[in-house]
């Protein structure tokens, strides 16, 4: 059916034109003439009216692919929509499509047309309709540029936000920022700096590393791996001092990581600065202590001298010892027994064997090779010699009505020792080296309340605990000891009577000059008299009498009727005497107690001093009375002295 609107040929049963959409009007009468030719109707009828035999021959030729005869036709322009501008109507006498003309105009496209049956024509036109109405083949519409702009703006905004997120919030974006020299995270800076270091761009790598280090410091972060890279960059740039300082900073902040120790030790070992080798050895020791890595200990053992050796093992000994301290490598050895001394500077160089006396000795020693110092040799020697047991007495403590004799003997563990010496006293004093020595013979105890005291001493001069036993012997007691109140001179009182009062009684005397009195630190002056001399001492209230020395009998009387020319026995008989025998030195204790003491001292010239001491009435200082005898035992001088 032919569309009157656009001239498109549609199927007979079509209602709407597939090309323009106009309503189609059916024709009851058969078209003829030019219209029928245009519509191809005659051609179809001619085909249908041919004999069956001729039609079968045409079909056979088509199946066999035989060429159809073509009739050259002049190209006709077709103005219909969807049809090429030019086509060739090549229909032969059988209604088929002819072959292309060889001289068709160029560059126009030529179309081959065939004569189809009604069924084939309808299928072909349906396919063409479907192709024309496929998506995207519709008629063009007006472009909405506002909408296009809005879409492009939104797309740009989304793209910009995504780019911002990628650059600011992702590791990849931060690395890109760091590569472009923009602000980036420390992690990105460490990464980019390492890339630059690998490419040999040392200066730029250091800049990135230092910037990353500063950022980490602000955030309280220590990136040890990054700092180690910075140290490597410093070394590569020749900044050895900066690298060493950085390594020290690393192991100070993170002492458990070994890498910084290793790098710093390597720098020190390669340095020629004074003290670098010693510092390296100390750093090896510190690294081993902090990290527990045994390689540092092994390295140090191969580097520094071995500790010195001694020929006496530290420990407990009961005798005095000598020790030698040496280095098997032949290095100098310095030692000390001072816990606070610094070695080797504060020690002594070993040259000869060292004597260890009784006591506790902690030895410290090092071997020294130049500026390298070994680890300390340390040992404690306890020289504690055995002490004897407390001696025993043959007389039990008790009250006795007659005089008693006493025997002394060593303690049970020392009974068979032949080196025990027993010192004893009965005068009330504690025994010492100037006390009587027990010879094995019994000795008598004096009357009254008697305290026996004794100690044992062995060959190591070790002293035992003291034996102390109180006896009461009910026989007449010795005379009492020297007493300051009763035995003071009648005409003056020491350190109380003034110089003026003394001179009014005994004369002014002759000033002999300034002298010094024991235990008196004020100014003292001596005045000589025919009977002896007197010493005056300056006090805050004036001059007072401090000493009176008699060498002849005169106006001043000695205590208890004694005088110049008396014998030793006579003088001693006037005071208390417990009857103690002389010590090996010849000295003899007379008595000792809370009220004072009395003792005889042997002098170098053979004479003796019989000395009595007692407290003043106020109990604040001493008065002392001495009788000096010649070798024959006669009193030649009497001395009365104040002792503050």
Taking every pair of Cα atoms in the chain, the longest distance, rounded to a whole number of angstroms, is 204
Q: With contact defined as beta carbons under 8 Å apart, do 314 and 381 qualify?
A: yes
Q: What is the DSSP string of 244-298?
A: HHHHHHHHHH-TT-HHHHHHHHHHHHT--STTHHHHHHHHHHHHHHHH--HHHHH
Is 60 exceeded by the pLDDT of residue 480?
Answer: yes
Scored b (16 or more CB within 10 A) or e, 194-214 reads bbbbeeeebebbbbbbebbbe
Which tops the pLDDT comparison, 444 or 81?
A: 444
91: pLDDT confidence band, cut at 50, 70 and 90?
very low
Mean per-residue pLDDT over the chain, rounded: 83
- Lowest-confidence region among 45-59, 159-173, 327-341, 557-571: 45-59
Give me the pLDDT at residue 148, please.
74
Q: How far apart are CA 238 and CA 290, in angstroms?
A: 29
How far apart CA 510 and CA 504 sit, in angstroms, is 14
Using pLDDT thresholds of 50, 70 and 90, give the confidence band for residue 69.
very low
**Residue 628 phi, psi (nearest 5):** -110, 130
Lowest mean pLDDT among 7-11, 356-360, 476-480: 7-11
Q: Are 337 and 363 in contact (CB under 8 A)?
A: yes
DSSP letters, 26-70, are: --SSPP-HHHHHHHTHHHHHHHHHS-HHHHHHHHHHHHHTPPPP-
- pLDDT tens digits, 370-423: 989 999 999 999 999 899 999 999 999 999 999 999 999 999 999 888 899 999
CA 326, 331, 336: angle at the middle one, nearest 5? Answer: 55
The pLDDT of residue 236 is: 92
pLDDT tens, residue by residue, 294-305: 999 999 988 999
Q: What is the pLDDT of residue 93?
A: 44
Residue 40 confidence (pLDDT) above 80: no
Q: Give the bridge partners for 598, in sequence order.
A: 591, 612
pLDDT at residue 6, rounded to an integer: 72
For residue 605, pLDDT over 90 is answered with: yes
Q: Report which of 303, 285, 364, 365 is spatially closest to residue 332, judged by C-alpha positions.
A: 365
Edge-to-edge strand ranges of the sheet holding 510-515: 510-515, 524-529, 532-539, 542-550, 635-643, 622-629, 608-615, 596-602, 588-593
Segment 501-546, tens digit of pLDDT: 999 999 999 999 999 998 899 999 999 999 999 999 999 999 999 9
Give 365-375 pLDDT, tens digit per residue: 999 999 899 99
Neighbours of 458 (CB within 10 A): 19
**pLDDT at position 66:** 42
User: Taking residues 309-324, what's their average pLDDT?
Assistant: 94
Instruction: Tell me the C-alpha distance between 388 and 411, whole Å.
Output: 7
| Residue 578 tokens, joined | 């417990």
Could you give the 3-state DSSP secondary structure of residue 93? coil
For every residue of 60-76, which 3-state class applies, written as one string? Answer: HHHHHCCCCCCCCCCCE
- Name which of 114, 112, 60 is nearest 84 in CA terms: 112
Q: Which residue bears the tokens 């527990």?
A: 292
Token output for 501: 């009062």
- Give 332's strand partners: 368
Q: Calculate mean pLDDT across residues 186-196.
A: 89
| Phi, psi of 520, rounded to the nearest 5 degrees | -115, 120
Return the C-alpha torsion angle 550, 555, 561, 564, nearest 10: 40
Which pLDDT does position 92 carry in this prediction? 44
**pLDDT tens, residue by residue, 221-238:** 889 999 999 999 999 999
**Between residues 11 and 594, which one has the greater pLDDT?**
594
Q: 261: which residues sit within 8 A by CB, 6+ positions away?
A: 247, 251, 283, 284, 286, 287, 290, 291, 296
Q: How large a percentage of the chain has pLDDT more than 70?
A: 78
pLDDT > 90 in the chain, percent = 56
pLDDT range class, residue 32, cuts 50, 70, 90? very low
CA angle 187, 189, 192 (to 5 degrees): 110
Global pTM value: 0.53
Q: Give the length of the chain.
A: 644
pLDDT value at 34 more than 50: no
Q: State how beta strands 443-444 and 405-406 pair.
A: antiparallel
Mean local confidence (pLDDT), 575-592: 94
- Listing from the earlier edge strand, what are the strands of the sheet with 399-400? 399-400, 467-473, 448-457, 421-425
Least confident among 175-189, 312-326, 512-526 = 175-189
pLDDT value of position 52: 60
Query: What are the Cα distances from residue 198, in Å, to 189, 219, 233, 236, 262?
Result: 14, 27, 10, 11, 22
Closest Cα to residue 471, out of 403, 399, 394?
A: 399
Which pLDDT value is given to residue 630?
Answer: 96
Q: Is-contact 388 318, C-beta < 8 A?
A: no
pLDDT of residue 376: 93
Q: Would you say 386 and 460 are in contact if contact means Cβ atoms under 8 Å apart?
A: yes
Q: Closest Cα to residue 334, out of 354, 319, 314, 355?
A: 354
The pLDDT of residue 46 is above 60: no
Residue 619 has pLDDT above 90, yes or no: no
pLDDT band at 31 (very low <50, low <70, confident <90, very high): very low
Residue pair 576/478 in contact (Cβ under 8 Å)? The answer is yes
For the chain, first and last CA: distance in Å?
162
pLDDT at 169 over 80: no
Region of poorest pLDDT, from 48-57, 252-261, 430-439: 48-57
pLDDT at 545: 96
CA distance 125 to 53: 29
Whole-number Å distance between alpha carbons of 412 and 392: 9
Q: Beta strand 608-615 with 596-602: parallel, antiparallel or unpaired? A: antiparallel
**pLDDT higher than threshold 90 for residue 439:** yes
């Amino acid at each position: 059916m032919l569309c009157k609107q656009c001239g498109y040929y549609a199927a007979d049963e079509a209602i709407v034109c597939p090309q323009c959409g106009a309503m189609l009007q059916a024709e009851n009468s058969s078209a003829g003439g030019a219209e029928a030719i245009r519509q191809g109707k005659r051609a179809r009828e001619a085909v249908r009216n041919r004999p069956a035999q001729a039609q079968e021959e045409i079909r056979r030729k088509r199946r066999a692919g035989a060429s159809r005869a073509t009739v050259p036709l002049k190209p006709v322009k077709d103005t219909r929509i969807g049809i090429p501008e030019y086509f060739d109507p090549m229909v032969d006498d059988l209604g088929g499509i002819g072959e292309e003309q060889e001289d068709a105009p160029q560059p126009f496209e030529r179309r081959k047309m065939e004569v189809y049956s009604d069924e084939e024509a309808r299928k072909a036109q349906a396919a063409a309709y479907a192709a024309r109405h496929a998506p995207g083949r519709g008629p063009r519409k007006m472009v909405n540029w506002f909408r296009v702009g809005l879409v492009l703006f939104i797309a740009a905004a989304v793209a910009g936000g995504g780019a911002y997120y990628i650059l600011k919030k992702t590791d990849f974006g931060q690395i890109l920022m760091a590569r472009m020299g923009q602000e980036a995270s420390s992690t990105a800076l460490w990464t980019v700096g390492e890339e630059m270091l690998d490419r040999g761009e040392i200066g730029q790598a250091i800049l990135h590393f230092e910037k990353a280090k500063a950022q980490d410091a602000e955030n309280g972060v220590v990136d040890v791996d990054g700092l180690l890279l910075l140290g490597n960059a410093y070394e590569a740039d020749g900044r050895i001092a900066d690298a060493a300082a950085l390594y020290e900073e690393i192991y100070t902040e993170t002492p458990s990581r070994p890498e910084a120790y290793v790098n710093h030790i390597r720098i020190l070992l390669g340095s020629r600065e004074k003290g670098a080798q010693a510092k390296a050895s100390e750093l090896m020791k510190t690294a081993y202590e902090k990290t527990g890595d045994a390689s540092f200990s092994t390295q140090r053992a191969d580097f520094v001298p071995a500790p010195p050796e001694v020929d006496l093992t530290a420990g407990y000994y009961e005798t005095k010892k000598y020790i030698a301290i040496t280095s098997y490598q032949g290095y100098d050895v310095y030692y000390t027994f001072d816990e606070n001394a610094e070695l080797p500077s504060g020690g002594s160089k070993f040259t000869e064997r060292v004597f260890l006396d009784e006591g506790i000795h902690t030895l410290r020693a090092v071997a020294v090779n130049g500026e390298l110092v070994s680890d300390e040799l340390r040992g404690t020697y306890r020289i504690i010699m055995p002490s004897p047991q407390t001696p025993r007495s043959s007389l039990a403590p008790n009250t006795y009505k007659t005089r008693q004799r006493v025997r002394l003997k060593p303690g049970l563990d020392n009974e068979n020792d032949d080196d025990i010496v027993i010192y004893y006293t009965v005068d009330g004093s504690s025994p010492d080296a100037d006390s009587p020595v027990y010879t094995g013979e019994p000795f008598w105890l004096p009357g009254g309340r008697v305290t026996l005291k004794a100690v044992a001493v062995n060959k190591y001069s070790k002293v035992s605990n003291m034996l102390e036993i109180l006896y009461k012997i009910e026989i007449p007691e010795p005379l009492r000891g020297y007493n300051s109140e009763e035995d003071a001179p009648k005409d003056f009182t020491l350190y109380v009577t003034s110089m003026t009062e003394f001179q009014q009684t005994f004369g002014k005397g002759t000033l002999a000059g300034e002298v010094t009195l024991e235990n008196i630190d004020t100014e003292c002056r001596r005045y000589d008299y025919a009977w002896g001399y007197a010493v005056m001492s300056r006090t805050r209230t004036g001059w007072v009498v401090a000493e009176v020395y008699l060498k002849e009998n005169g106006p001043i009387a000695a205590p208890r009727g004694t005088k110049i020319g008396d014998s030793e026995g006579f003088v001693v008989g006037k005071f208390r005497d417990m009857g103690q025998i002389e010590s090996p030195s010849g000295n003899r204790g007379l008595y000792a107690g809370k009220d004072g003491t009395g003792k005889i001292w042997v002098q170098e010239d053979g004479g003796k001093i019989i000395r009595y001491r007692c407290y003043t009435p106020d109990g604040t200082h001493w008065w002392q009375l001495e009788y000096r005898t010649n070798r024959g035992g006669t009193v030649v001088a009497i001395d009365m002295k104040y002792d503050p």
